[in-house]
A = this chain, B = another copy of it.
Amino acid sequence: MPIDFKKELENAARSMILVHDPDLLIKILVRAIVEKSGIDHASILLYKPERQAYVLSISGGSLGKKIPIGFASLDKDDSLIRFFRERNCRAIFNSDILTLEEAHAVLKDNNLKERLNNLLSDVIYQMKILDTIACIPCYFRDDLLCILLLGKNRNEKKFLKEELDFFLALASNISMAIRNAQLFKDLESELDKKHQLFMRTTIALVAAIEAKDNYTHGHTTRVTNFSLQIAKRLARKQRKIINEKFLESLHIASLLHDVGKIGIPEHILNKRTVLTVGERNRIEEHPLIGATILKPIKELEESLVGVKYHHERPDGTGYPDGLKGEEIPLIASIISVADSFDAMTTERPYRPALYRNEAIKEIRKFTNLQFSPLVVGAFMELCLEGAL
């Protein structure tokens, strides 16, 4: 094995540190070993915590030498796995590497205790099935993370001690890289779980608050869907403004746009007759109450803006601040259209629902007065396609 190849493999192992997907990592490594060394084929048995088993993740090499995919998983009690987990290899051979040749030699000597003798026989049998002549375990502390299985040299020569030592050093790099990748994956999955927890809890609490208002069942969910659809359509032209962060803020703002209604007395929210001016004024406080509730959460600054201004109108007749045209933040303009469309197409205590087409006409009619033309543009595209 030429020294250049070693360097290349060392470099490959080193740069693997930044591959944070254990499977991809293994794939790259096995390919590098097979392509650049004189080895016929190689594969790796990688421990999968979720399956509590060692899975033959990748098998690479010359055609016909690939290990059948059906033979794909060994559990912890399997002989080959037990042999390495219990460090029998180190005990018998004074080395972590197991070669088929040495295994046969030791077995002939017949100096082993019966239990070990049987275990080693099993291991030899499995190595033959796996078509490997050398197994190199990769440990992290006391955990067996994977076993590297090497096929024959193409020139049919046996491995030199120096070559095996090199693979052992490589195995240490592999262990480190796998462990690192697993830690990364764990952290990413924790982050994902925390995000789910945040979203689910917010949705549940919002639904509970919404249930106080008899006439808006499912309103929040629909407004959230409409808002996100409109924003994604707008993103085709406004990629700089509408990025992942904007979409997340909009998602939360849509969920929370009516949260301020918690501060309005139930008898006003659920009144079946026409509201007095005083009652109407109370209801119109809800965007400001919502903003007040969200104020302490600094991460929701952008969402707060959506909640606070979703009843502003381009003609300046909206509330709470009477903002005009471009003064109204895009996030609020999107919620405004989504909110109005849903309100128009569902029944309210004081009026029946409009048909979908009538509601679309109304929204078009009030473009520039009540609704942002940019947002209505995207809304109309979606309506024409039947997506809304």
Q: Is the CB of B184 within 8 A of A259?
A: no
Q: Is the CB of A176 within 8 A of B18?
A: yes
Q: For A15, what are the chain B residues with a Cβ–Cβ distance below 8 Å?
A: 176
Asked if A109 is at the interface of the complex by the 8 Å CB criterion, the answer is no
Q: Is the CB of B197 within 8 A of A300?
A: yes
Query: From DSSP, what is the main secondary structure of chain A's interface residues?
Result: helix
A299 to B197, CA, bound (A): 7
191-234 of chain A: CB within 8 A of chain B: 191, 193-198, 200-209, 211-212
- Quick one: CB contact mask for A275-316 with B, threshold 8 Å, 1 for yes? 000000000000000000110110110000000000000000
How far is the CB of A245 from the nearest CB of chain B, in Å? 12
Q: Taking A201-B201, A202-B201, A204-B296 as contacts, is the C-beta distance between A262 and B187 under 8 angstroms?
A: no
Asked if A145 is at the interface of the complex by the 8 Å CB criterion, the answer is no
Q: Is the CB of A194 within 8 A of B198?
A: yes
How far is the CB of A199 from the nearest CB of chain B, in Å? 9
Asked if A179 is at the interface of the complex by the 8 Å CB criterion, the answer is yes
Q: Taking A187-B191, A293-B204 as contacts, is the C-beta distance between A14 and B180 under 8 angstroms?
A: no
Asked if A173 is at the interface of the complex by the 8 Å CB criterion, the answer is yes
Asked if A68 is at the interface of the complex by the 8 Å CB criterion, the answer is no
Asked if A53 is at the interface of the complex by the 8 Å CB criterion, the answer is no
Asked if A266 is at the interface of the complex by the 8 Å CB criterion, the answer is yes
Residue of B194, B207, B297 near A200 (CB, 8 A) is: B297
* Among A198, A203, A207, A259: residue with most chain B CB under 10 A: A198
Q: Taking A187-B188, A204-B294 as contacts, is the C-beta distance between A179 and B18 under 8 angstroms?
A: yes
Q: For A183, what are the chain B residues with a Cβ–Cβ distance below 8 Å?
A: 18, 20, 184
Residue of B14, B20, B299 near A193 (CB, 8 A) is: B299
How far is the CB of A130 from the nearest CB of chain B, in Å? 28
Q: For A176, what are the chain B residues with a Cβ–Cβ distance below 8 Å?
A: 14-15, 17-18
Q: Taking A194-B194, A194-B195 as contacts, is the C-beta distance between A299 and B18 under 8 angstroms?
A: no
- Quick one: CB contact mask for A253-280 with B, threshold 8 Å, 1 for yes? 0000001001101100000000000000
A196 to B296, CA, bound (A): 12
Asked if A97 is at the interface of the complex by the 8 Å CB criterion, the answer is no
How far is the CB of A379 from the nearest CB of chain B, in Å? 29
A296 to B199, CA, bound (A): 12
Asked if A177 is at the interface of the complex by the 8 Å CB criterion, the answer is yes
A-B contacts, 7 of them at CB < 8 A, read A187-B188, A193-B299, A200-B296, A200-B299, A201-B201, A205-B206, A209-B262
